[in-house]
Structure 1
């Protein structure tokens, strides 16, 4: 149940409490995102400045899931 058909790319601006991250998308919008289960299980370390792939929520476009960190 994704909000969009294809994931968006953004840059992590800052880490927040409770495993949340503020992410600025390439189009300039800012969203709150948390790591998806697969990224969390693989213990992917997400730092400010990292490029990430984000899937937006269908219910709330201001929130999403970080699918993966991009190289």
Structure 2
């Protein structure tokens, strides 16, 4: 069950920037119940911060980690990391 007005997607952390910001290359966007894969020639990046739950549990996020992010419908270039996959 997703929140209203939020787009969920998956991506790979490309770079760690100062101030706990991460550059994430998005490779799948969730539409309804299934994910839509983005073609490799259409690279899409987002600058993401860590959500409170991930920060509270001290989850370590490094480059090349696969993460799930949430973005606003109005600005897909900024988001929040909500889960790091194993």
Q: CA RMSD in A?
A: 1.3
- Structure 2: state its 5+ residue gaps: 28-37
Any stretches of 5+ residues in structure 1 without a counterpart? none
Higher RCO, 1 or 2 (CA under 8 Å, sep at least 6)? 1
Larger Rg: 2
More strand by share: 2
TM-score, with normalisation over the residues of structure 1? 0.88
Q: How many aligned positions are there?
A: 69
- 4+ aligned runs moved over 4 Å, structure 1: none
Query: Normalising by the residue count of structure 2, what TM-score does the alignment of the two structures yield?
Result: 0.74
